[in-house]
């Protein structure tokens, strides 16, 4: 759901693909790696939400870094624009070509090999097209843990995760995607390969270039490989579902949980009743863990790498008295602890299926914002009021990674209102929400990035100095503006 589609299309290079270039591309990637048929191109030019529809001269699917490099060099020589794409699950339109795009979509999906797992050294070297869930499973098979975890993990790819600096439900403990990376290999916009595939925790040799490419949404180069950090596999996990008094109570519960769990809080996800009900309505097989007379719930998970041992208190033995104390304090109104894998999976399914459920529910608007953790309740109160003042029948369903100060401040359109009518209100709502979050020292994009949706918002809210630095970096690496043009920056 676009919060704010830009008022006008940015100027992008529109050098068309000639028959000769198509032949050259085919010579590099083979028939298997080139899609020219309009119908077959469709999944690559429409975004996950089904809201943005772009165009591409061809979809190119290289199978190695060498092929990526040759394709990019060819495009560079001819001034042809490139849209890098992983799993195409991004929510800001970053992986979708603009309608005016005449160049290629470069899909990393065939580069899906795990190159090395060093379980002793806790690192894994992978190609950019590996699906996140496959990497989680690979780590688990080596008794290790890759903490990056998000609702799209069955189809998003690690290159896309790093390019968006994805967040997800484990950031509280392990940090964003960029914190999980030791080294990168990147194909630059001129086709050169930067080999920064180092597995070093300490490396103070000048600028830390890898961080330029993470969160750049494919505008500075194409990530082809990564060295990822691993952690010990969790052995003792306790998941609970709490009906809570209000968002302030969520903060207080989390604050106490750190010490009570002996620093083992893995996730803490705030959900509104409206979000839960939407999932229960649309996602088959989900069951309500707890009905209570409150609009606010919390999914709290503690996990330890230490296996439960007879005679010592495990995570659930620690969680139960903690929840009893929180009940007594009036912050928790009711609670269930998952006693089986199925119960825990159901809780997580509800949390992770909100985006899918909202897509099924109908037109809506969503803002991925962050603010200092302690100000979340104030933002929810003021923000909801500001939006309802503009459109009183809009239906809020806020949720968020509350431990990260990250709120998905989301709304379904009023019952029966179509997308076009809702769009008439979005500019005013966007301004109200983003003005508020900015006035509170927060960010207009916590984890989803800028893509094309927030192009105008970034330039509205960031200072000239900050935008100038970004433009300088972009122009230095990509003077022709062929790498994902018209995303993040208009230029
Ligand atoms: C159900 C659902 C739940 C989600 N939950 C979360 C969440 O909790 N947290 C979160 O942060 N996001 C979430 N997202 C958003 C999305 O999944 C993430 O942004 C994800 O990291 C995108 O990965 P992808 O492979 O699909 O990238 P894509 O959508 O293909 O691309 C995203 C951006 O990265 C660029 N890109 C892709 N691959 C490369 C590469 N190899 N090199 C350079 N640039 C590249 C693209 O050009 C684009 O700008 C969710 C999405 C869905 C659909």
449 CA from centroid of ligand 1 (Å): 9
State whether 255 and 217 are in the same domain.
no
CA of 277 to the centre of ligand 1 (A): 26
Q: Report the number of distinct structural domains present in the chain.
A: 3
Look at residue 469 and tell me if it is in a domain: no
CATH code for position 304? 3.30.70.2190
Whether 168 has a pLDDT exceeding 60, the answer reads yes
Q: Is the pLDDT of residue 164 over 90?
A: yes
Residues 323 and 252 in one domain: yes
Residues 383, 391 contacting (CB under 8 angstroms): no
Q: Is 117 helix (H, G, I), strand (E, B) or coil?
A: strand
pLDDT for the residue 5: 62
Nearest CA to ligand 1 atom 7: 168
pLDDT score recorded for residue 175: 96
Distance between CA atoms of residues 219 and 352, nearest Å: 28
pLDDT at 4 over 70: no
Specify whether 377 is located in the same domain as 444.
yes
Contact between 200 and 219 under an 8 Å Cβ cutoff? The reply is no
Within a domain: 261 = yes
* Secondary structure class of 154 (helix, strand, coil): coil
Is the domain of 335 the same as that of 242? yes
* Ligand 1 center from residue 92 Cα (angstroms): 9
- For residues 302 and 154, what is the distance between their CA atoms, to the nearest angstrom? 23
DSSP 299-351: EEEEEESSPP-TTS--HHHHHHHHHHHHHHTTSEEEEEE--SHHHHHHHHHHH
State the pLDDT confidence band at 1, using cuts at 50, 70 and 90.
Answer: very low
Same domain, 262 and 187: no
Separation of 12 CA from ligand 1 center, angstroms?
22
Using DSSP's 3-state secondary structure scheme, residue 207 falls into coil
Instruction: Name the residue of 128, 150, 174, 451 whose CB sits within 8 Å of the most ligand 1 atoms, as the mutation to test its pocket.
Output: 150
Which tokens is 393 given? 């029948």
Distance 185 CA to ligand 1 centre (A): 18
Distance in Å, CA 89 to ligand 1 centroid: 5
Same domain for 403 and 333:
no
Residues 265, 223, single domain; the answer is: no
Ligand 1 pocket test target in 52, 90, 410 with most atoms within 8 Å of CB: 90
Neighbours of 13 (CB within 10 A): 19
223 and 134 within one domain:
yes
Assess if residue 256 is contained within a domain.
yes
Please identify, by atom number, the ligand 1 atom nearest to the C-alpha of residue 84. 47
Rounded CA separation 252/249 (Å):
5
Q: Which pLDDT band holds residue 7 (cuts at 50, 70, 90)?
A: confident
Among the three residues 232, 260, 276, which one is the final residue of a domain in this structure?
A: 232
Ligand 1 center–CA 112 separation, angstroms: 16
CA of 333 to the centre of ligand 1 (A): 36
If you take atom 8 of ligand 1, which residue's CA is the nearest one? Answer: 168
User: Which 3 state secondary structure label does DSSP give 356?
Assistant: helix
Mean local confidence (pLDDT), 250-262 = 97
DSSP 8-state code for residue 402:
G
Tell me, yes or no, whether 302 and 222 share the same domain: no
Radius of gyration over every alpha carbon of the chain, rounded to an integer in angstroms: 23
Please report whether residue 204 resides in a domain.
Answer: yes
For residue 38, pLDDT beyond 80 = yes
Q: By three-state DSSP, how is residue 185 classified?
A: strand
Of the candidates 434, 353, 357, the residue with the CA atom closest to the CA atom of residue 395: 357
What is the position in ligand 1's atom list of the atom closest to the CA of 487?
49
Taking the CA of residue 223 as reference, the ligand 1 atom at the shortest distance is: 42
The DSSP H or E segment spanning 455 is helix 455-461
pLDDT for 88-136, tens place per residue?
999 999 999 999 999 999 999 999 999 999 999 999 999 999 999 999 9
In a domain, 91, yes or no: no
Backbone angles phi, psi at 20, to 5 degrees: -65, -40
Closest ligand 1 atom, residue 213 Cα: 43
Mean pLDDT for the chain overall: 96
Minimum CA distance residue for ligand 1 atom 41:
159
For the CA of 167, the closest atom of ligand 1 is 11
Structure tokens at 365: 């608007």
Q: Which of 48, 59, 101, 163 to probe ligand 1 with, by most ligand atoms within 8 A of CB?
A: 163
Residue 55: its H or E element: none
- pLDDT score for 312: 80
Domain hosting residue 201, numbered range:
114-232
Question: CA-to-CA distance for 93 and 51, rounded, in angstroms?
Answer: 9
What atom of ligand 1 comes closest to residue 153's alpha carbon? 17
Report residues whose beta carbon is within 6 angstroms of any ligand 1 atom. Answer: 48, 83-91, 94-95, 108, 128, 150-152, 156-157, 159-161, 163-164, 166-168, 217-218, 222-223, 355-356, 447-448, 451, 484, 487
Does 242 share its domain with 349?
yes
Show Cβ contacts of residue 424 under 8 Å, excluding neighbours closer than 6 positions. none
Residue with tokens 């490099």: 69
> Residue 311's pLDDT band (boundaries 50, 70, 90)?
confident
Please indicate, yes or no, if residue 479 is contained in any of the structural domains: no
User: Taking residues 290-317, what's their average pLDDT?
Assistant: 92
Residue 228: closest CA among 208, 199, 202, 185:
199
**End position of a domain, from candidates 203, 232, 261:** 232
CATH number of the domain where residue 371 is located: 3.30.70.2740
Cα 157 to ligand 1 centre (Å): 7
| Choice from 82, 95, 228 to test ligand 1 binding pocket (greatest atom count within 8 A of CB) | 95
The pTM score is 0.96
Q: What separation, in Å, do the N-terminal and C-terminal C-alpha atoms of the chain show?
A: 25
369 and 323 share a domain?
no
Which residue has the CA at smallest separation from atom 3 of ligand 1? 151
Mean pLDDT of 416-425: 95
Q: Is residue 387 part of a domain?
A: yes
* Protein residue with least CA distance to atom 52, ligand 1: 152
User: Coil, strand, or helix at residue 110?
Assistant: coil
Q: pLDDT grade, residue 141 (50/70/90)?
A: very high
For the cut 90, the answer to whether the pLDDT of residue 8 exceeds it is no
Q: Residue 60 C-alpha to ligand 1 middle, in angstroms?
A: 19
Q: Which two tokens stand for residue 434?
A: 């983003």
Q: Are 216 and 143 contained in the same domain?
A: yes
For residue 166, the ligand 1 atom closest to its alpha carbon is: 11
331: in domain: yes
Q: Rounded CA gap, 483 and 84, in Å? A: 8
Residue 33 to residues 15, 47, 63, 138, 159: CA-CA distances in angstroms? 21, 21, 8, 26, 18
In this structure, the residue with its CA closest to atom 20 of ligand 1 is 161
Query: Does the structure show a pLDDT above 80 at 2?
Result: no
- 169 CA distance to ligand 1 middle (Å): 15
């Amino acid at each position: 759901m676009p919060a704010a589609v830009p008022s006008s299309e940015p100027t992008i290079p529109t050098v068309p693909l000639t028959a000769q270039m198509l032949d050259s591309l085919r010579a590099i990637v083979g028939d298997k790696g080139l899609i020219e048929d309009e119908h077959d191109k469709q999944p690559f030019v429409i975004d996950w939400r089904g809201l943005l529809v772009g165009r591409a001269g061809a979809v190119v699917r290289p199978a190695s870094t060498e092929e990526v490099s040759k394709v990019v060099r060819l495009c560079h020589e001819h001034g042809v624009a490139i849209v890098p794409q992983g799993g195409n699950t991004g929510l800001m339109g970053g992986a979708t070509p603009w309608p005016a795009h005449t160049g290629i979509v470069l899909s990393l999906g065939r580069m899906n090999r795990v190159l090395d797992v060093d379980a002793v050294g806790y690192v894994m070297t992978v190609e950019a097209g590996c699906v996140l869930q496959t990497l989680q499973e690979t780590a688990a098979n080596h008794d290790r843990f890759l903490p990056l975890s998000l609702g799209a993990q069955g189809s998003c790819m690690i290159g896309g995760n790093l390019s968006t600096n994805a967040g997800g439900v484990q950031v509280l403990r392990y940090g964003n995607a960029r914190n999980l990376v030791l080294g990168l290999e990147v194909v630059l916009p001129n086709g050169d390969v930067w080999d920064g595939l180092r597995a070093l925790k300490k490396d103070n040799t000048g600028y830390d270039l890898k961080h330029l490419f993470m969160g750049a949404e494919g505008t500075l180069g194409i990530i082809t490989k990564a060295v990822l950090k691993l952690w010990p596999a969790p052995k003792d996990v306790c998941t609970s579902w709490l009906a809570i008094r209000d968002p302030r109570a969520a903060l207080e519960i989390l604050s106490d949980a750190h010490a009570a769990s002996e620093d083992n809080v893995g996730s803490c996800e705030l959900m509104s009743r409206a979000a839960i009900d939407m999932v229960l309505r649309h996602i088959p097989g989900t069951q309500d863990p707890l009905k209570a007379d409150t609009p606010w719930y919390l999914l709290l998970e503690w996990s330890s790498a230490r296996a439960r041992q007879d005679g010592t208190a495990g995570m659930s033995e620690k969680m139960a008295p903690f929840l009893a104390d929180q009940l007594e304090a009036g912050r928790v109104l009711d609670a269930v602890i998952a006693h089986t894998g199925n119960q825990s999976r159901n809780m997580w399914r509800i949390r992770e299926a909100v985006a899918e459920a909202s897509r099924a529910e109908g037109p809506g608007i969503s803002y991925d914002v962050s603010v200092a953790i302690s100000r979340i309740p104030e933002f929810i109160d003021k923000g909801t009021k500001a939006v309802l003042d503009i459109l009183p029948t809009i239906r809020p369903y806020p949720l968020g990674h509350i431990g990260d100060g990250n709120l998905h401040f989301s709304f379904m359109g009023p019952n029966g209102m179509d997308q076009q009518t809702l769009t008439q209100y979005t500019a005013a709502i966007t301004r109200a929400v983003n003005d508020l979050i900015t006035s509170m020292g927060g960010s207009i994009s916590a984890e989803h990035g800028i893509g094309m949706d927030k192009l105008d918002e970034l330039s509205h809210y960031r200072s000239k100095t900050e935008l100038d630095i970004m433009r300088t970096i972009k122009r230095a690496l990509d003077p022709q503006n062929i790498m994902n043009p018209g995303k993040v920056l208009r230029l």
